[in-house]
Amino acid sequence: MRYPLQRDLCQYDPSQRDLSQRSSHIPVTAKLTTLCRHVPLLNQSKKRLPVLALLSAVMLVPTYAQAALPTAIQAALSRANLTESDISIIVTPIGNKNASRLPAPIQVIDSSDVDSQLMPTTPSNNTTTNISADKNSSSQKATQNNNNHAASNPDQQSALITIEKRTIEQHEQKIHDYTDDPYTYQSVESIPTVVPDEQPTPANNDNNAVSTDKTSIKISFSPLLNHQPDVPRTPASTMKLVPSFIALDTLGADFVWYTRVYHTGIVIGDRLHGDLIIQGSGDPKMTHERLKELLYKVQASGIRHIDGDIIVDSAIFKNVSEDPAAFDNSPLRPYNASPDGFLVNFSTIGIKTYPSDNGQASLTYKPRLANYQLPDKINTRAAYCGQASYSLSPQWQAEQLTLNASLPESCGEHVFYVAYPNAKEFAAHVIAAKWQALGNTLSGKVISQETPYNAKKTSKSIHGLTAITMSPLPMVSYPSLNLTQQIHDINHFSNNVMAEQVALSIGAYDKAGPTQSKATNTDKKADSLYQFGTPAGTDYSSALQTINQWWQTNLSTPPPYLTNGSGLCRDCTITAANLIELLTYAYGHPSFDAYVDSLGIAGVSGTIAAHSERLPDSAAIGRAWIKTGTLNNVTSMAGYVKGLSGQDYVVVGMINTDQALNPYTARPVLDAVLDWTAQR
């Protein structure tokens, strides 16, 4: 006999429900999930329970899901006008004090503010380190707080790393010269917020251990908090933790993308009688400076003049272009840029303003666009300086950029970043401009296409020297930054389009057999002239399927539901249990250092830097490595915390609501979770 309750309830898939209706049903969903795990066991043992008994189990089995949350977290929820049904939290010990895999804790010292008497509390063997960090570093009060923690725990004191605030700011400025703030989606997280006021008593958690076998993870300890772990929720940018780690596991921390350049025809002197062909590799960070280096290598090989076209082959990714206005009707925001097989500068241009005294401002652009008109002057007005959409009201037209608003005088010297709506057109304009800027000439045009170059299938007339087919080997093979460097930008600055490039690359490059290099797949295509370095192309469907297969092979929780790789989606879902299992698996992985170093540091760097402003006395400052996520109804975080006892923890917190969250109050709920965890 099959009980109707089992058939109707246990086949219910909460991930398929309308997100707008989820919050009011979360407690029941969590209970049903736990109940359904027990029903098969009852059937296997031939035990029969009446329907009434099963209904009672719905209320009684998952007692952990309804356990009271710590006082500080409950207080933060109350201040945010949220309920316990709006949040999933898991905090789990991992490893042991004598074998921590987390980096050393960090304290930030501002030598211009900190009293010199504080300096002797810093151990003499501390190192001063340069890190990629946000200028919103911890305050003097937080620095003193961290010093006190170190002084009270001599075992941890020697491992404390001291960093000068001005060193962080200088390094951050250098980074922002090519990454820049608009590539970070989490802009709301820099807003100062309410500070939780009650601190719980630390607890001791010794002798916890975790198996780090590559094929299976066996957790041998109990979570400290385990609140609604199996409820599917919208993750926002914490979803980036999934493709970034799977890429490390499947491609390797040192994996690089190779952009290769070929030519047809023949080179006589410094003139190419034929076409120059750029084979895109899906490189996530082909900035305009790196594109210039690529073209310089072409020039250095002996080509200065091209009597033909420059053809860009972006076939590595197929049908991945998206409507930049589809997500939030903000097509000019760089975080909405689409991925592409040859993505240039995140399809984004920087517009710098230089105001003068005559009611106008001069404008400069990086990168420049060839064969496209960009205004060099703009009128000014008395107004508040805001986003580009308000301050400039830019509009991309067929042959020119128009600015439909006068520049607010308060902007001063300012850089606005505006996304171009078509990645292939943008790449063509920038390539032509960079080639000309090097003093070279091009008689034809730049053509960007999503099919491999094939002279037999080209529509243009080919004759004479230009009809000579290209060499099977590339004239230039230009490596990208390695995967470790790429995922640092993805997770530290929450770069959406880079995350998409990496997710798609998992599908494109994780196809090689045991005797084949994943970076140089040598499969020959019958319809392509390429005989070297031709990876299998991919689209979203096959890439996400590859990620799903990896999850099913390596982890035990049901796979999350992904519709892209960045978390810039409202239909994708993941559970706190998913993220905990992934982070636990990663903790024992050979590439864990690259993974954890990509995360922001609470109160110090990345999108979690403002933690110290919201909660100046937090024990988590400099002790938590966190990826955050923010949408208008989502606030989330996931990562690792080193407790004051020396114990490492994995932590996940996700808040979803039906209404828009108030960023002044929602983020401190998760700040309270980090602080509570760090005090253990």
What's the distance, CA 88 to chain centroid? 21
Which of the four pLDDT bands, split at 50, 70 and 90, describes residue 41? very low
What is the per-residue DSSP string for 621-642?
Answer: TTTEEEEEEEETTEEEEEEEEE
Nearest C-alpha neighbor of 618 from the set 197, 224, 201: 197
**Rg, C-alpha atoms of the chain:** 27
Helix (H, G, I), strand (E, B) or coil at 89: strand
The 10 Å CB-count burial string (b at 16+, else e) for 596-635 is: bbbbbbbbbbbbbbbbbbbbbbbbbbbbbbbbbbbbebbb
In this structure, the number of other CB atoms found within 10 A of the CB of residue 99 comes to 8
Which of the four pLDDT bands, split at 50, 70 and 90, describes residue 331? confident
Pairing of strands 446-449, 377-381: unpaired
- Tell me the percentage of the chain whose pLDDT exceeds 70: 67
Q: Of 91-105, 329-343, 533-547, which gets the smallest average pLDDT?
A: 533-547
Nearest C-alpha neighbor of 650 from the set 581, 567, 558: 581
Which of the four pLDDT bands, split at 50, 70 and 90, describes residue 470? low
What integer pLDDT is reported at residue 14 of this predicted model? 36
What integer pLDDT is reported at residue 9 of this predicted model? 36
Pairing of strands 634-642, 624-631: antiparallel
Cα dist from 578 to 90, 218, 585, whole Å = 11, 14, 11
Which of the four pLDDT bands, split at 50, 70 and 90, describes residue 519? very low
Q: Encoding tokens for residue 484? A: 């470790």
Report pLDDT digits (tens) over 622-661: 999 999 999 888 999 999 999 999 999 999 999 999 887 7
Report pLDDT digits (tens) over 437-453: 999 999 999 999 888 77
Which of the four pLDDT bands, split at 50, 70 and 90, describes residue 157? very low
Find the largest Cα–Cα distance for the chain: 89
The 10 Å CB-count burial string (b at 16+, else e) for 427-440 is: bbbbbbbbbeeeeb
Report the amino acid identity of residue 286. M
Report the half-sphere exposure of 664 (CA within 13 A, side-chain side). Answer: 2
Comparing 229 with 215, the larger pLDDT belongs to 229
Cα dist from 434 to 299, 312, 313, 369, whole Å = 11, 14, 18, 9
- Provide the phi-psi class of 539: left if phi over 0, else alpha when psi is between -120 and 50, else beta: beta
Strand order in the sheet with 266-268: 266-268, 271-273, 305-306, 441-442
With a cut of 70, say whether residue 46 has pLDDT above it: no
Which of the four pLDDT bands, split at 50, 70 and 90, describes residue 164? low
Cβ atoms of 513 and 536 closer than 8 Å: no
Report pLDDT digits (tens) over 579-614: 999 999 999 999 999 999 999 999 999 999 999 999
Within 8 A by CB and 6+ apart from 284, the residues are 257, 343, 480, 486, 489, 490, 495, 497, 498, 501, 502, 505
What are the structural domains, with CATH classification, of the chain? 4-66 (no CATH), 72-202+210-239+564-678 (3.40.710), 257-480 (3.50.80.20)
Question: Quick one: DSSP state of residue 379?
Answer: E
What integer pLDDT is reported at residue 469 of this predicted model? 72
Mean pLDDT of the chain: 77
Which of the four pLDDT bands, split at 50, 70 and 90, describes residue 325? confident
What integer pLDDT is reported at residue 49 of this predicted model? 38
In this structure, the number of other CB atoms found within 10 A of the CB of residue 167 comes to 17
Cα dist from 564 to 95, 237, 568, whole Å = 32, 11, 7
With a cut of 70, say whether residue 200 has pLDDT above it: no
Nearest C-alpha neighbor of 635 from the set 607, 609, 613: 607
Cβ atoms of 321 and 423 closer than 8 Å: yes
What integer pLDDT is reported at residue 67 of this predicted model? 61
Cβ atoms of 90 and 576 closer than 8 Å: yes
Which of the four pLDDT bands, split at 50, 70 and 90, describes residue 615? very high
Which of the four pLDDT bands, split at 50, 70 and 90, describes residue 529? very low
Length of the chain: 680
Helix (H, G, I), strand (E, B) or coil at 269: coil
pTM, two decimals, is 0.78
Report the half-sphere exposure of 527 (CA within 13 A, side-chain side). Answer: 5
